[in-house]
Amino acid sequence: MGMHEPFADRLAEAVLRCGNSAMVGLDPRRDLLPSSLRPGGDAPADWAESYRRFCWEVIDVVAGRIAAVKPQAAFFEELGPAGMDALASVIERAREAGLLVILDGKRNDIGSTAVAYARGYLGESSAWRCDAMTVSPYLGSDSLEPFFDVARERNCGVFVLVKTSNPGSGLLQDVEADGRTICERVADLVEAFNMEHAGRLGYGPAGAVVGATYPRELEELRERMPQTWFLVPGFGAQGGTADDVAGAFDAYGLGAIVNSSRGILYAYDRSPYRERFGEAGWRDAVSAALDAMIADLTRRDR
């Protein structure tokens, strides 16, 4: 999938083509991998190969059914150079399968370091060739601008952490200053950039990470950010439901992509998929859990 159109438009086209807003996070975890994929040894290279095989097989199951996958960099980085080689292989496999790739690395810094992160990860000319990535806003606007600029230059996307799904997010994100919470201030910064650089469908290259576990804030932030794509974590294993994420979408059913990681990847280890498929049928469990997620997300349209 080429990067000749703005990311926001490519994401919208992929969601419309697939007919749903689901996304699968690629979070390979050694304690949850099916036993058939666990290596005989314990060296990082052994686990890296298991992670690669696992993610490749997940990609093969979900390709053509969803718009994007979200590799979680941390699980690969934990394994050192071998893990990073596996991550590169997973990204390439997803691209070959026609999936958009949103790297979940939550990077940030200032000045030339931020530029290096952005140029390293975003676009076909980069080393990692990702379509989008997640970034932290904690260092302020001058730490986000390099990511925004590279994303716009290369037709890629940046998802800024605005209101995250974890229970402790309110410690900073809900603090009020000058009549706005911190997350609202970040939201306004992202939306202001998108207003100047919106694509043909009305959305800009800067997205927002807003958790399904805070449905009221999700709805309020959608009103505040009408030209911003939302990446919505927290669905499924973290407790978020289709009703919780309903406020993330615009009037046309676009504007948000909803992520599930553990709930899809390791469905074989929970009911009702454990009873239906068992561990040997883990791929079928992935497929069935994804079907259930898609049905849950689209039932409001029926």
Cβ count near 301 (within 10 Å): 8
Nearest to 297 by CA among 262, 248, 261, 251: 248
Burial class (CB in 10 A: 0-12, 13-18, 19+), 111: exposed
* CA dist list (Å): 35 to 42, 190, 280: 14, 43, 9
Contact 73, 87 (CB under 8 A): yes
Contact 234, 260 (CB under 8 A): no
Nearest to 53 by CA among 33, 25, 70, 24: 33
DSSP run (H or E) holding 127:
none
Q: Which of 106, 163, 185, 222 is catalytic?
A: 106
Cα dihedral 150, 151, 154, 156 in deg (nearest 10): 160
Give yes or no: 106 in active site. yes
Contact 35, 279 (CB under 8 A): yes
Nearest to 65 by CA among 14, 102, 109: 14
Nearest to 207 by CA among 258, 242, 262: 258
Please give the positions annotated as active site.
Answer: 106
